[in-house]
Amino acid sequence: MTTTPTTEALAVANPSAQLRRPVPRPLAPDVLSHLQLHLQMELQASYDYFRLAIWFAERDWKGFAEFARQEALSEHQHACKVADHLIDRGQAIDLATLQPNTSTWDSVEAVTQFIFDNEVAVTASAQQIYSMAERAGDYITSVFLDSVIQQQTEAEAQAAHVMSRVRLAGENPAALLLIDQELSRGEGNRPRVADGDS
């Protein structure tokens, strides 16, 4: 006797994916639906950060524009990794239409606050799925999410650092220009106490 699901059972659970690959361990329905939502969140974040890159570039904040552009690329890469996980698990991927963010921002600080809040929301989503995966005994997804949560923790800390620098500058354009130059030179990383990876 085996606990491996039959191909017929999997075909009912996920018809289009089952046409392509055999699936040794189907995802629990809540894990699957939230991974789909998480994928959408990452894509939306990439879209939103691209808009922020435009917002900064229009105002000649060169370094901030580059920071937002890099963040947009990184969110897109995160979405790709979630997609790969779903494909590897034999799941069909449903993509929803991205919605343009209609928020308006009146300061650099407001934009950095938006980025920080967004990173916190994405991390919360990953943690929620982690709990679901643990409950479902889906350790493959847990292991996958380990790296996702680690990356999110880094992204949150970096967003917090940039926002903190901007808050220090306050409304002083000269101070903001210094931060902008730091980001332009790729020197915007948060300070670290430990040296390297050791």
Tell me how far, at minimum, the Cβ of 122 lies from Fe ion, in Å. Answer: 5
The verdict on 38 binding Fe ion (CB under 5 A) reads no
Q: Of the two residues 18 and 50, which places its CB atom closer to Fe ion in the complex? A: 50
The verdict on 85 binding Fe ion (CB under 5 A) reads no
Tell me how far, at minimum, the Cβ of 60 lies from Fe ion, in Å. Answer: 27
Q: Of the two residues 62 and 76, which places its CB atom closer to Fe ion in the complex? A: 76
The verdict on 48 binding Fe ion (CB under 5 A) reads no
C-beta nearest to Fe ion: residue: 78
Which 3-state string (H, E, C) describes the chain? CCCCCCHHHHHHHCHHHHCCCCCCCCCCHHHHHHHHHHHHHHHHHHHHHHHHHHHHHHCCCHHHHHHHHHHHHHHHHHHHHHHHHHHHCCCCCCCCCCCCCCCCCCCHHHHHHHHHHHHHHHHHHHHHHHHHHHHHCCHHHHHHHHHHHHHHHHHHHHHHHHHHHHHHHCCCHHHHHHHHHHHHCCCCCCCCCCCCCC
Closest by CA to 138, choosing from 17, 11, 25, is 25
The verdict on 78 binding Fe ion (CB under 5 A) reads yes
The verdict on 180 binding Fe ion (CB under 5 A) reads no
Cα 174 from Cα 126, distance rounded (Å): 38
Determine which residue in the list 48, 66, 71, 75 makes contact with Fe ion, applying CB under 5 A: 75
Tell me how far, at minimum, the Cβ of 126 lies from Fe ion, in Å. Answer: 8
Stretch that binds Fe ion, among 32-40, 68-76, 93-101, 107-115 (CB under 5 A): 68-76
Stretch that binds Fe ion, among 24-32, 74-82, 109-117, 176-184 (CB under 5 A): 74-82
Q: Of the two residues 9 and 96, which places its CB atom closer to Fe ion in the complex? A: 96
Q: Which residues bind Fe ion (CB under 5 A)?
A: 42, 75, 78
